[in-house]
């Protein structure tokens, strides 16, 4: 039997309240919106509550969050939200979750708690929950759950994995991790991870992001060396862009700048927030006079400046993109400036990053990007050999890869078989699938799933955008709109004048005048025919759409959104009388 047919082969048709249920509302089959749940009887614990950032097809969407319907219906069972670390794909959904669901307690590390508190203050939700600070010595106990924590290494400080004891067995979640033998921050707690493996972990949930990448990831110390070399060799101004959440990288950049006698100017709201929190908590070590305000940049010589900014992913409104297109308020590229991208493009962002690189080069900047030769970036996620090491240390009986697209989950499952885990004990799940743990055995429930649709957020409205709205936005982007303005007299059921058609983004107006005039005449005739008998405003609007849409498509092979606007002359007269 092929491996892919053996995965998920242990199934069960139902479950009892005393069973332990493990499921994800987000994070499986995707990179983002990580939200994992463990339920037993009348208790639920949630591990992380993240968002996913939209791709180009989701027009006008700011965030994608999980469907929280199941948690809303069972919120009286929730005993706590446990945060592994402070990245947006693990904490970004918290404000939206708290708007619809009562969660009285959040457990997070000191750094993650500071980021969460800042986020809740921005949403004016500081009083919605209590944030408890945890460390590796912390313990949580409820009726059915006992939870401990262990240090792991990631690209943000204070990152933890969790070990959860349930009545039916032990579950471990690694969170996002890597094994870096020469880390910038704290090291992973190999001893504790190994001890829990010897103690006996029944089910391991482990990060799959880099499951396709062989070997070990590059150490942060190598990146620090590359940054130091560039900082020493650069004779002019240096501008460095990186992820604002990568605190260890930010510390390396700041340390290198200070060592070379450069003042640091931090640009970008998210970067400013993280640097301030990092300094407050001691993760970023620098004095106040090492930093300068953007308004004073012109007061310093170019070889005494280091600008640290956001925009390493080519985001249109980020600082580096605005610098590249010449619209930044304080920073203008001077020929000879050195710009460093201390990052790799996230899949889907390569075109945007290349555009920024080209614009910077066109302005005369010397641009350095990550490569095998430069080592300007390293991942915060485990490569294949690090995943094997985690599996060897924990020695789980059952395994569910998490945090990744399907191909990543599948590759991680294949890696697990290489270190001796039976394929029958491996589960490649999707959001909403339910694993059942019963007396230290794990099965996939084949008779029930949790509702897990994507919810699209526009602004701060947690109710989400309907799919129909997104389809309308796509139509607007592709085909434009046509508004049909009709004036009628509803008292005697007559149309008072020929309709007026206004087009936006549909056709070139000068060349389309004849088409629009013919469209107005067709709508006029159809409305006169309809208004020969008793009708309603809704029927008139449908008449306009049903008449105009086929005509426009027959002439242009495009389907613009047709918006009928009906003005009632009687209502207008009455309104004027009331105003007088």
Euclidean distance between CA atoms 10 and 340, whole angstroms:
50
Cα distances from 134 to residues 112, 139, 266, 547, in angstroms, run 10, 8, 30, 64
R_g (Cα) of the chain, nearest Å: 29
Which region, left, alpha or beta, applies to residue 543 given φ > 0 means left and ψ of -120 to 50 means alpha?
Answer: alpha
Q: What are the contacts of 116-119 at 24+ separation with CB within 8 A?
A: 116/83, 116/86, 116/91, 118/273, 118/277, 119/91, 119/92, 119/94, 119/95
Q: Is 92 exposed, middle or buried (0-12, 13-18, 19+ CB in 10 A)?
A: buried
Q: Establish whether 207 is a catalytic residue.
A: yes
Q: Which secondary structure element, helix H or strand E, spans residue 385, and what is its range?
A: helix 384-394
Cα distances from 96 to residues 15, 123, 431, in angstroms, run 30, 9, 19
Residues in the chain: 580
Nearest residue to 343 (alpha-carbon basis) of 244, 274, 234, 237: 244
Euclidean distance between CA atoms 94 and 100, whole angstroms:
10
Q: Establish whether 381 is a catalytic residue.
A: yes
Structure-token pair, residue 445: 């429930």
Distance, C-alpha 18 to centroid of its chain: 34
Structure-token pair, residue 311: 């925009």
Q: Is 371 exposed, middle or buried (0-12, 13-18, 19+ CB in 10 A)?
A: exposed
Of 248, 328, 381, 412, which residue is the catalytic one? 381
Of 158, 176, 207, 433, which residue is the catalytic one? 207
Active site residue ranges: 207, 381
């Amino acid at each position: 039997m092929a491996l892919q047919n053996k995965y998920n082969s242990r199934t069960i048709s139902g479950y009892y309240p005393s069973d332990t249920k493990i499921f994800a509302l987000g994070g499986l089959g995707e990179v983002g919106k990580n939200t994992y749940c463990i339920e037993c009887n009348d208790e639920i614990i949630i591990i992380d509550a993240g968002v996913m950032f939209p791709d180009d097809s989701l027009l006008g969407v700011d965030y994608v969050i999980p469907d929280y319907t199941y948690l809303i219906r069972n919120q009286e069972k929730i005993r706590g939200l446990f945060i592994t670390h402070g990245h947006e794909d693990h904490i970004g959904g918290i404000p939206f979750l708290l708007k619809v669901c009562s969660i009285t307690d959040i457990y997070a590390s000191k750094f993650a708690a500071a980021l969460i508190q800042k986020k809740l203050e921005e949403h004016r939700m500081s009083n919605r929950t209590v944030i408890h600070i945890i460390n590796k010595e912390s313990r949580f106990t409820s009726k059915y759950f006992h939870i401990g924590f262990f240090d792991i290494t990631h690209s943000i400080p204070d990152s933890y994995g969790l070990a959860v004891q349930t009545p039916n067995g032990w579950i471990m979640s690694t969170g996002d991790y890597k094994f870096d033998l020469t880390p910038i921050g704290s090291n992973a707690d190999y001893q504790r991870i190994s001890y829990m493996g010897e103690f006996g972990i029944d089910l391991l949930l482990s990060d799959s992001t880099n499951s396709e990448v062989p070997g070990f990831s590059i150490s942060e110390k190598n990146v620090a060396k590359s940054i130091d070399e560039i900082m020493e060799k650069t004779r002019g101004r240096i501008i460095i862009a990186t992820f604002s959440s990568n605190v260890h990288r930010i510390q390396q950049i700041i340390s290198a700048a200070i060592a070379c006698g450069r003042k640091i100017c931090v640009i970008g709201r998210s970067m400013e927030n993280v640097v301030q929190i990092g300094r407050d908590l001691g993760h970023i070590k620098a004095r106040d006079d090492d930093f300068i305000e953007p308004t004073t940049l012109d007061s310093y010589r170019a070889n005494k400046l280091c600008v640290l900014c956001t925009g390493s992913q080519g985001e249109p409104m980020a600082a580096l993109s605005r610098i590249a297109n010449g619209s930044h308020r304080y920073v203008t590229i001077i020929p000879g400036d050195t710009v460093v991208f201390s990052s790799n493009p996230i899949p889907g962002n390569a075109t945007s990053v290349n555009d920024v690189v080209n614009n910077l080069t066109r302005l005369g900047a010397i641009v350095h990007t990550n490569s095998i030769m430069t080592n300007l970036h390293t991942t915060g996620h485990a490569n294949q050999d690090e995943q094997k090491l985690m599996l060897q240390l924990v020695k789980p009986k059952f395994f569910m890869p998490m945090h990744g697209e399907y191909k990543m989950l599948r590759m991680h499952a294949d890696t697990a078989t290489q270190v001796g885990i039976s394929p029958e004990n491996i589960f490649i799940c999707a959001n909403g699938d339910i694993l059942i743990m019963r007396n230290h055995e794990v099965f996939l429930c084949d008779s029930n799933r949790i509702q897990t649709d994507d919810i699209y957020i526009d602004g701060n409205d947690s109710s989400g955008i309907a799919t129909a709205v997104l389809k309308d936005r796509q139509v607007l982007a592709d085909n434009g709109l046509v508004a049909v303005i009709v004036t009628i007299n509803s008292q005697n059921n007559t149309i008072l004048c020929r309709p007026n058609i206004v087009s936006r983004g549909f056709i070139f107006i000068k060349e389309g005048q004849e088409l629009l005039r013919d469209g107005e005449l067709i709508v006029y005739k159809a409305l006169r025919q309809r208004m020969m008998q008793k009708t309603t405003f809704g029927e008139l609007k449908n008449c306009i759409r049903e008449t105009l849409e086929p005509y426009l498509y027959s002439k242009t092979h495009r389907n613009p959104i047709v918006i009928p606007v009906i003005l009632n002359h009687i209502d207008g007269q009455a309104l004027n009388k009331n105003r007088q």
